[in-house]
Structure 1
Amino acid sequence: MLAPVKVSEVSSSDPKHIDVPHTRVAFAMVGDVTNPGVASGTPYFALQHAARQGWSVRGLRLSTDGRNWARRRLLWNLRQKLASGASGGYQYSDEFLDQLWKLDPPMPGEDIINMFQLYPRRIVERHDGRLFFFVDQTLKQMFETYGLGLPDKVMHDAIGRERDQYQKATTVFTQSSYAARSVVEDYGIAPEKVQAVVCGANLDPDVLDAWEAQDHPPHDPGPLRLVFVGKDWQRKGLDRLIAGMEVARSQGAEIDLRVIGVAREDVPKTLAQVSGIEWIGFVDKRRETGRFVDLLATCDVGCLLSRAEAGGMSLREFCRLGLVTLAPDVGGSPEYVTHGSGHLVKPDAGPETIGTILLGLATDKTLLDRQRKIAWSERIQASWDLPIRLIGRRLAE
């Protein structure tokens, strides 16, 4: 079994030394890597920080927008339906990937870091640069835990190509040891070819620099301030959080909740009618990064209670801003929180368990202050600078 790799281990003996790849590097994903709205912004911010560290780097623009893609998907699903009686999973087919990568093909000799689990076969067979992966989870993990309902044949074919491509890749970077274990144990890849690198917070570095330069007075006394970030409120466990909050309140806790990414009208009335919830709705991190940072940083506890999760990017954002965290004990999420300032919750934990944690944080100020100090002192560990440095060191070899 692979031992976890902490981003704190990235620092070299010379803190000013940064290993820079000696070749051109392209980041790839299904979607336009230069768009921070793709894949929660993870490829975009990885690319941005690589450029800041001096890499010769670009992002491939593999956008699936437009009518042609909808038409191709429809025709592919129709053929699958006629052939096997089932459809779905077009994005995992080699036909889809081959067409996609024609939009912005890699340059000769260019190294590629693919943040999707598959390359087109053509790229694997013909490209003369090194091929890397940087994935949040394997397809086997995704298919088993996310319940996508895809045809067995589609999943089997995709996992088979994924296994073959991991074998041929120079290095498989994963965004958690949870994912790294699957690459080794489920796909048979040699451990020395696999490197777990927990990703950083998807927040604009210039905005973070400005925020760091401000004075940060202690939070005013008052209700415990929770914040939730996410669009898929059910998978992300907003209902579980609200139920736990109500339990804690019934026992005397003063708690407020700020919800970002979900509007009041998007949830059932039983949740929408709970008092003490500030429904922020969607915040565009491309245009309102400063506002987004302020909305998080003025809270005490960042909350994510997913029923299924590869990692949970909001957890890295909470940690980067020095928040105590309430996190799901699923997938790679435990690796995304700061040790000593995070509370892990099992996916089957009920409102009483969640409420007990919140009650303790709301009523034991010594506990909250101690964990806030830990979170604040360790916040830089959730920066993208450190994982990009580690990846750059491997690419420079």
Structure 2
Amino acid sequence: MNHKLLCCGDATNLATWSNIPYFLLQAGLQNGLLQGGVPLWPERLRWQRRGWNLAQLLRHGKPGGFQYSRRFTRALLAPARLPADQPLLLLSHFPLLPAADWPAAWRVDFYIDATTRQVFDHYGHGHRLAQGYRQQVLERERLAYRRAGSIVCMAQWAADSVINDYGIDPAKVHVVPGGANLAEDQLSALPPAALPPPPSVDHPLRLGFLGKEWQRKGGPFLLQLAEALQEKGIPTVIRAIGPDPAFLPAHPALQPLGFLNKQTHTARFVAELRSWHFGTLFSSAEAAPRSNLECLRLGVPVLSHAVGGIASTLPDSGCGMLFPAHPAAADVADWIAARLSPYGGYLTWRAALAPRWREFSWDAAVEQLAKILL
């Protein structure tokens, strides 16, 4: 049976939704789980969006939410001309696509990073919607989950929401964190990298930041952490990939690298991550981060705290350290200092992580998905 991947965009386009559909599709095609993606183009609906938002503003005083409407999902899916009278398997990344009244011949499963309620509450997107409309959206999502075959979540955080906020049978809900958004064929061609040296004035401790949103993903906390480590006599720098350097604060420990294209400059991207002593993620809100998985795929341990779906990307203590939500910089600095002493112990710990690389790949994730969906 034809098994297609569905998302708000074109899954064959690397730029769609943080690369996740692209890498899932490539691994799914190789595994046989997927036979293709359904190309959709939400950007073509911009005029419909403007008209709909204006109508919402006039009716309710709040213009947002076109992407959650029936009009959006139907208009987005219409050009694909999917046959309503033929069996079809759809794996959708968006819990409102297709609308819950999809044809009886279809089986729809969802693979999501967060529920819409979590997007509204934790990312603050709900404030743009009128209260009545917001409730309509959540009810349509509940109906879609009830009718779906399975709801696979990228984190236990999202799975708990599906079960508790939407009243869905736990037997239908699963957790598969997914994999690192890195091309395995390119990684296999790269030579092994040397482990980073012990921190010193000439070679400071490297804490890595990966992502565009400096504020939300904990950048300011990392500067506090660098200062706390300096006070303990550990020279430290923050290596930041993603944020525009023009919008970052001036700080002696911050070393902005700008955007690194991990597809066209794979060797440079990989060498940079492998030079870090730790990847980091201390977000204020986070659903299913790829940055942790990319670090782990490359054998780099991660420091994070337990917010949102972050915990599902650190399966055990061999992968790094998960701190209680919003830790004090001094506490994290104390843990790092203890982990680095003796430095041989750190190297042994890190050497044990590297052979586990396949756990954090999309190939492994697709194998888990196949056991659930087939």
TM-score by length of 1: 0.86
- Structure 1's 345 and 333: CA in aligned 2 closer, same or farther, altered over 3 A? same
* Per-residue Cα deviation, 1:338-387 (whole angstroms, up to 9, x for no partner): 41232223443233233333444455424522431332232221111122
- Give the deviation of 1:70 after TM superposition: 2.5
2:215 matched residue in structure 1: 234
User: How far off is 1:309 after superposition?
Assistant: 0.6
Query: Which is bigger in relative contact order (C-alpha 8 A, separation at least 6)?
Result: 1
Q: 1:170 to 1:338 in 2, by over 3 A?
A: closer
Map 1:294-313; keep pairs closer than 5 Å.
294-313=271-290
Question: Could you tell me which residue of structure 2 aligns to residue 17 of structure 1?
Answer: none
User: What is the aligned counterpart of 2:60 among 78, 81, 84?
Assistant: 84
Q: What is the match of residue 314 of structure 2?
A: 337
Percent identity over the alignment is 31
176 and 266 in structure 1: CA distance in 2 versus 1, 3 angstrom threshold: same
2:246 to 265, 280, 284: 265
Alpha-carbon distance change, 364 to 338 in structure 1, aligned in 2, over 3 angstroms: farther
Aligned-pair distance for 1:96? 0.8
Q: Conserved in 2, the CA contact under 8 Å of 1:324 and 1:371?
A: no
- Are 2:26 and 1:45 equivalent residues in the alignment? no
| 1:103 aligns to 2:82 (yes or no) | no
Is 1:62 aligned with 2:40? Answer: yes
Separation in structure 1 between the aligned mates of residue 39 and residue 158 of structure 2, nearest angstrom: 26
Asked whether 1:133 is paired with 2:110, we answer: yes
Helix, strand or coil at the partner of 1:195? strand
| Contact 1:224/1:361, CA 8 A, preserved across alignment | no
1:354 matches 2:335:
no
User: Partner of 2:212: helix, strand, or coil?
Assistant: coil
Q: Would the aligned equivalents of 1:254 and 1:362 in 2 still touch at CA under 8 Å?
A: no
What's the secondary structure of 1:102's corresponding residue?
Answer: helix
Q: 2-side partners of 1:323 and 1:253: how far apart?
A: 19
CA distance in 2, matches of 1:392, 1:350: 41
Q: CA RMSD in A?
A: 1.9
**Pair 1:395-2:364 in alignment:** no
- CA gap 1:93/1:275 in 2 versus in 1, 3 angstroms: same
Q: How does 1:129-278 map to 2 (within 5 A)?
A: 129-148=106-125, 149-151=127-129, 152-211=131-190, 214-221=191-198, 222-267=203-248, 271-272=249-250, 274-278=251-255
| Pair 1:72 & 2:59 matched | no
What is the Cα deviation at residue 54 of structure 1?
Answer: 2.8
Q: Which amino acid aligns with 1:119?
A: L
Which residue of 2 is the match for residue 279 of structure 1? 256
Using the TM superposition, give the Cα deviation of residue 168 of structure 1 relative to its aligned residue in structure 2, in angstroms: 0.5
Measure the CA separation in 2 of the matches of 1:289 and 1:90. Answer: 37
Residue 323 in 1 paired to residue 300 in 2? yes
CA contact (8 A) 1:304 1:328 kept: yes
Distance in 2, Cα, partners of 1:58 & 1:263: 35
Amino acid aligned to 2:26: Q
1:219 Cα deviation after fit:
3.0
Tell me, in whole angstroms, the C-alpha distance in 2 between the residues paired with 1:295 and 1:191: 41
Report how many aligned residue pairs link the two structures: 365
Structure 2 CA distance for aligned equivalents of residues 379 and 84 of structure 1: 50
